[in-house]
């Protein structure tokens, strides 16, 4: 039985606590939050679990075998470092850390101590993303052209990170997974209305070396909640709407072909294809439950997680370059050291499969 500690019981931590409590291979033995009110609320629901305001009391291998970190992003590196140094397996919520350098340190430490470092890229454990992955890998969509996503809502407004760092990790983790490698460069524009130092609205473009493109629009200052990703291929197009209760993925057998051998540029002719639309059947596994099970399975089997430290770093690297672009008024910024899936250790696990 794996003994677990959970640090951070604000908005997201209690969801993790619920899922880990349902897993028969682990036991949450301690919860921690600086905020005593939050601890009391959790204590009312889970009275038998020990509670503390001091993370030092959790980050101890005599107390737990693994720790889940669901605190604000700026605290991830310090808490995860302390946990790994204490010999614990670590689950860190997205984004893994505030810089590529911090991520690199965590990866090196986890490798050195031979401990599981798992990043909360929850959508990579979801059945809709699994379906998109299959549509791309099977060639059903044809050559991938571009992926565009919107993640919008009214709030919650963050103080420590901008809308891009808060919201885009989900879209980026999915895009990088579908495209299979990091972009060569990014450009990002945005504006800060509510707090002059924190961008509320950000538009990010990812430029991939192979002519593919990613577009991510994030905002917590929008009247409507929107969670839509469009994947455009040469043969078909897919739309993933996470707010749809049933048909989250729709595949459109639709496209435009350039007719061969035009006499001149001006005479370029296009043929429009309008075919059927279908929605693949998805099982109803809860992504968060699948994610938490995968963390525990990786610890038990000694398997490297699909959403490991490198997976987390690939996302942070894009965010870091995007921040630089934001500060340069939207200029194109090259990624220093593109993190490619192909160069990774063969012991890493294959894409997670969520089952009902």
Ligand X SMILES: NC(=O)c1ccc[n+]([C@@H]2O[C@H](COP(=O)([O-])OP(=O)(O)OC[C@H]3O[C@@H](n4cnc5c(N)ncnc54)[C@H](O)[C@@H]3O)[C@@H](O)[C@H]2O)c1
Site residues (CB under 6 A) for ligand X? 7-13, 32-35, 38, 55, 70-73, 75, 93-94, 120, 122
Chain-centre distance of CA 76, in angstroms? 15
Smallest distance from the beta carbon of 341 to ligand X, in angstroms? 21
In terms of CB distance, is 216 or 237 closer to ligand X?
216
Smallest distance from the beta carbon of 166 to ligand X, in angstroms? 6
In terms of CB distance, is 93 or 294 closer to ligand X?
93
In terms of CB distance, is 73 or 149 closer to ligand X?
73
In terms of CB distance, is 12 or 145 closer to ligand X?
12
Smallest distance from the beta carbon of 123 to ligand X, in angstroms? 8
In terms of CB distance, is 187 or 307 closer to ligand X?
307
Smallest distance from the beta carbon of 208 to ligand X, in angstroms? 25
Give me the residue whose beta carbon is nearest to ligand X.
10
Residue with tokens 């340069």: 328
Using DSSP's 3-state secondary structure scheme, residue 201 falls into strand
In terms of CB distance, is 197 or 261 closer to ligand X?
197
Smallest distance from the beta carbon of 17 to ligand X, in angstroms? 11
Using DSSP's 3-state secondary structure scheme, residue 146 falls into strand
CA distances from 211 to 110, 174, 184, 258 (A): 35, 18, 10, 17
Cα–Cα distance, 275 to 16 (Å, whole number): 42
332 by Cβ neighbours in 10 Å (0-12 / 13-18 / 19+) ranks as middle
Smallest distance from the beta carbon of 131 to ligand X, in angstroms? 19
Cα–Cα distance, 299 to 281 (Å, whole number): 31
CA torsion sign for 102, 104, 110, 112 is negative
Smallest distance from the beta carbon of 194 to ligand X, in angstroms? 17
In terms of CB distance, is 55 or 162 closer to ligand X?
55
Using DSSP's 3-state secondary structure scheme, residue 318 falls into helix
Smallest distance from the beta carbon of 97 to ligand X, in angstroms? 10
In terms of CB distance, is 34 or 181 closer to ligand X?
34
Smallest distance from the beta carbon of 214 to ligand X, in angstroms? 19
Q: Identify the CA nearest to 304 among candidates 128, 117, 136.
A: 117
Using DSSP's 3-state secondary structure scheme, residue 352 falls into coil
Tokens matching residue 194: 């509510």
ω into residue 234 within 30 of 0, thus cis?
A: no
- The count of residues in the chain is 356
Tokens matching residue 141: 């969509």
Tokens matching residue 263: 């006499």
Using DSSP's 3-state secondary structure scheme, residue 237 falls into strand
In terms of CB distance, is 10 or 262 closer to ligand X?
10
Cα-based angle 180, 176, 272 (whole degrees, multiple of 5): 80
């Amino acid at each position: 039985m794996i003994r677990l500690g959970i640090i951070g019981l604000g908005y997201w931590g209690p969801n993790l606590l619920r899922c880990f409590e349902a897993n028969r291979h682990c036991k949450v033995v301690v919860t921690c939050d600086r905020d005593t009110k939050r601890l009391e609320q959790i204590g009312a629901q889970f009275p038998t679990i020990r509670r503390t305001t001091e993370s030092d009391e959790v980050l101890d291998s005599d107390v737990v075998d693994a720790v889940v970190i669901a605190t604000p992003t700026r605290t991830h590196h310090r808490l995860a470092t302390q946990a790994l140094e204490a010999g614990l397996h670590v689950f860190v919520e997205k984004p893994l850390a505030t810089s590529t350098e911090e991520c690199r340190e965590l990866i090196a430490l986890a490798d050195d101590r031979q401990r599981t470092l798992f990043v909360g890229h929850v959508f990579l454990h979801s059945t809709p993303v699994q379906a998109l992955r299959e549509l791309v890998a099977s060639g059903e969509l044809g050559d991938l052209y571009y992926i565009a996503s919107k993640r919008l809502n009214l709030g919650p407004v963050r103080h420590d990170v901008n809308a891009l760092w808060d919201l885009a990790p989900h879209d980026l983790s999915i895009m990088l997974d579908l495209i299979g490698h990091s972009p060569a460069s990014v450009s990002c524009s945005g504006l800060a209305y509510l707090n002059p130092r924190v961008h509320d609205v950000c538009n990010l473009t990812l430029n991939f070396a192979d002519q593919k493109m990613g577009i991510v629009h994030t905002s917590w200052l929008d009247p409507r909640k929107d969670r839509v990703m469009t994947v455009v291929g040469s043969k078909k197009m897919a739309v993933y709407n996470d707010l749809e209760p049933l048909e989250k993925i729709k595949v459109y057998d639709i496209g435009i072909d350039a007719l061969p051998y035009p006499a001149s540029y001006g005479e370029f002719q296009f043929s429009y294809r309008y075919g059927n639309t279908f929605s693949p059947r998805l099982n109803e596994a809860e992504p968060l439950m699948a994610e938490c099970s995968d963390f525990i399975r990786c610890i038990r089997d000694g398997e490297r997680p699909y959403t490991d430290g490198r997976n987390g770093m690939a996302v942070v690297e894009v965010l870091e370059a995007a921040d630089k672009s934001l500060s340069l008024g939207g200029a194109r910024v090259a990624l220093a050291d593109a993190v490619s899936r192909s160069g990774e250790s063969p012991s890493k696990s294959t894409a997670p499969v969520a089952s009902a």
